[in-house]
Structure 1
């Protein structure tokens, strides 16, 4: 399957519309996310190493909001034979169709189940690793506490949750700076001013970022014994939370 260059917002649109993970996005997603999210490749690769460290024999590993399966593959390729199962969940059929094709071409043998569902409705059971790489930010704010509590309850003692998010800053000057730096990152990766502006208009009411303090408080309230940032670049960060 050949990945295409992201030109979705290259031409003027009559209406921006809301950003959705449809077939157009699925087709260009690898290019889109590499050129839009600083540190994405590192986060995915280190997700695999975290899975290697925390995956317990006979347990489940969840990739919630799996998109095209990058984190699922990173975990799969770093596991030895521990009788684990990876469960990838996404509510986009277009994403999962492409994800399934990608998973089928991988030669590693840890089973991967793909489920089309909202992550709020998925059972978390016997989990040693749960990954949400840029997923919670698309969940309605009022539902996020319940999602994290549900994950905590489904994790085995000693398990880990990886949470990667676009974040906002309490200080308005720092927030403005990091937004500007993110836009410079996108310009450096070939996006035009029109593309940056139209993508921002399409996604601003769909992707709702929060502060790192809010994420820490939510995870502590859910019961996690420790949580903190292990990676950050501009307004994108990844956290680990331990049960």
Structure 2
């Protein structure tokens, strides 16, 4: 289904409700530059670091598209677990999992409070930016503590620049991309207002610093387009 969420006036902050869940896959592909490519890179590193009977957690799994893609290419037995706090997203995820007959588990839960088992890999696709900065570092430490030695955390985030002009130009570049995907100026403005104070991005440097100060030995960017980046952090 095509994303038409912001073609009408929005009177509330952005939330992952049924209306968004219904069009979320289309929204991602049209709103996130090179989304499929970043997902391929994420899948590559997950599979490279996955051991027999290992565990992978996808934090904010939405409709479970990435876990389904990973499941298709598994070469060993593994536990693929998706967590989300949106019932609407998980309802669609469960339908997709059932349709594909996939061995993927999804759960309704708070990723800040969930009791994780020792895992080979964690994934977070544009999820951290929705976590309040005051508790974001606690989540990163919890992820690091739950990983095996040399386990990986692959996360994608919208990023900012602390150079005012460059940051403005990056945003303009991104809006040009959205227009090329068929979004109108009105839709772009509406979504920006709905996300105000809901989505709080860090810079590339701040994301790396956060990982290094909370249990990871190394962190770097493996993919970037303008103000969108995919990171890998190694315990």
Out of 118, 122, 131, the position equivalent to 1:130 is 122
Out of 2, 15, 28, the position equivalent to 1:5 is 2
Q: Structure 2: how far apart are the matches of 1:210 and 1:133?
A: 14
Which 4+ runs in 1 deviate beyond 6 A?
none
User: How far apart are residue 46 of structure 1 and its match?
Assistant: 1.9
1:39 is matched with which residue?
A: 34
Q: Does 2:49 match 1:57?
A: no
Question: Is this contact kept in 1: 2:68–2:104, CA < 8 A?
Answer: no
Q: Does 2:78 match 1:84?
A: yes
1:234 is matched with which residue?
A: 226
Deviates more, 1:88-97 or 1:215-224: 215-224
Q: Structure 1: how far apart are the matches of 2:43 and 2:203?
A: 25
Return 5+ residue gaps in structure 2 as ranges.
none
User: How far apart are residue 78 of structure 1 and its match?
Assistant: 2.2
Task: Name the TM-score, length of structure 2 as normaliser.
Answer: 0.97
RMSD: 1.1
Q: Does 2:35 match 1:18?
A: no
User: How far apart are residue 63 of structure 1 and its match?
Assistant: 0.5
Task: Please show how residues 162-201 of structure 1 align to structure 2 within 5 Å.
Answer: 162-201=154-193
User: How far apart are residue 107 of structure 1 and its match?
Assistant: 4.4
1:120 is matched with which residue?
A: 112
Task: Please show how residues 127-166 of structure 1 align to structure 2 within 5 Å.
Answer: 127-166=119-158
Question: Is this contact kept in 2: 1:63–1:132, CA < 8 A?
Answer: yes
| 3-state SS, counterpart of residue 206 of structure 1 | coil
| 3-state SS, counterpart of residue 9 of structure 1 | helix
2:43 is matched with which residue?
A: 48
Deviates more, 1:95-104 or 1:116-125: 116-125
Q: Structure 1: how far apart are the matches of 2:70 and 2:45?
A: 8
Question: Is this contact kept in 1: 2:160–2:203, CA < 8 A?
Answer: yes
| 3-state SS, counterpart of residue 167 of structure 1 | strand
| 3-state SS, counterpart of residue 117 of structure 2 | coil
Deviations 1:176-219 (A, max 9, x none): 11100110000000001110000100012111111111111111
Out of 100, 103, 110, the position equivalent to 1:106 is 100
Task: Name the TM-score, length of structure 1 as normaliser.
Answer: 0.94
Return 5+ residue gaps in structure 1 as ranges.
none
